[in-house]
Structure 1
Amino acid sequence: MADLTRTPPFDGASLPLALGESRLEALTAGIILAIAPYPGHEDDAARALGAFPTPGDCLTLGGGRLVWAGRAVAFLFDPDDPSEEVVARRLAGLAAVTEQSDGWVGLRLSGADAPEVLARLVPLDLAGMPDGTSARSVLNHAPLLLVRRDGAFEMWSFRSMAGTILHEVEGAMRAVAARRGSRPGT
Structure 2
Amino acid sequence: MHSLKPITALGGTDPQVDTVAGVTCTEITNLSLASVAARLGQEKSCATKLKSILGATPPLPGKALLAQPYSAVWMGPDQWMIGADIATHEDIAAILKADLNDTTSVTEQTDAWAGFDLAGNGIEAVLELLCNVNMRAMQSGDATRTSIHHLGCFVICGDPQGFVRILGPRASAGSLHHAITTAMKAAL
Q: TM-score, normalised by structure 2?
A: 0.82
Instruction: Tell me the amino acid that sits aligned with residue 8 of structure 1.
Output: T
Deviating beyond 6 angstroms after TM superposition, the runs of 4 or more aligned structure 1 residues are: none
Superposed, 1:3-152 pairs within 5 Å as 6-12=6-12, 15-50=16-51, 51-59=57-65, 63-78=69-84, 82-150=91-159, 151-152=162-163
Select between 5-14 and 128-137 the one with higher mean Cα deviation.
5-14
Q: CA RMSD in A?
A: 2.5
Aligned counterparts of 1:35 and 1:133: Cα–Cα separation in 2: 19
Return 133-142 or 61-70, whichever deviates more. 61-70
Larger RCO: Structure 1 or Structure 2 (Cα < 8 Å, ≥ 6 residues apart)?
1
TM-score by length of 1: 0.83
**What is the aligned-residue identity percentage?**
23
List gaps (5 residues or longer) in structure 1.
Answer: 178-186
Distance in 2 between residues matched to 1:96 and 1:33, nearest whole Å: 10
Q: Does 1:176 align with 2:187?
A: yes
Secondary structure in structure 2 of the residue aligned to 1:91? helix
Aligned residues: 176
Q: Does structure 2 retain, via aligned residues, the 8 Å contact 1:30–1:78?
A: yes
Per-residue deviation at 1:153? 0.9
Partner AA of 1:119 in structure 2: E
Larger radius of gyration: 1
Distance 1:44-1:120 versus aligned 2 partners, 3 A rule: same
Residue pair 1:136, 1:144 contacting (<8 A) in 2 also? yes
Please tell me whether the aligned partners of residues 15 and 28 of structure 2 are also in contact (alpha carbons under 8 angstroms): no
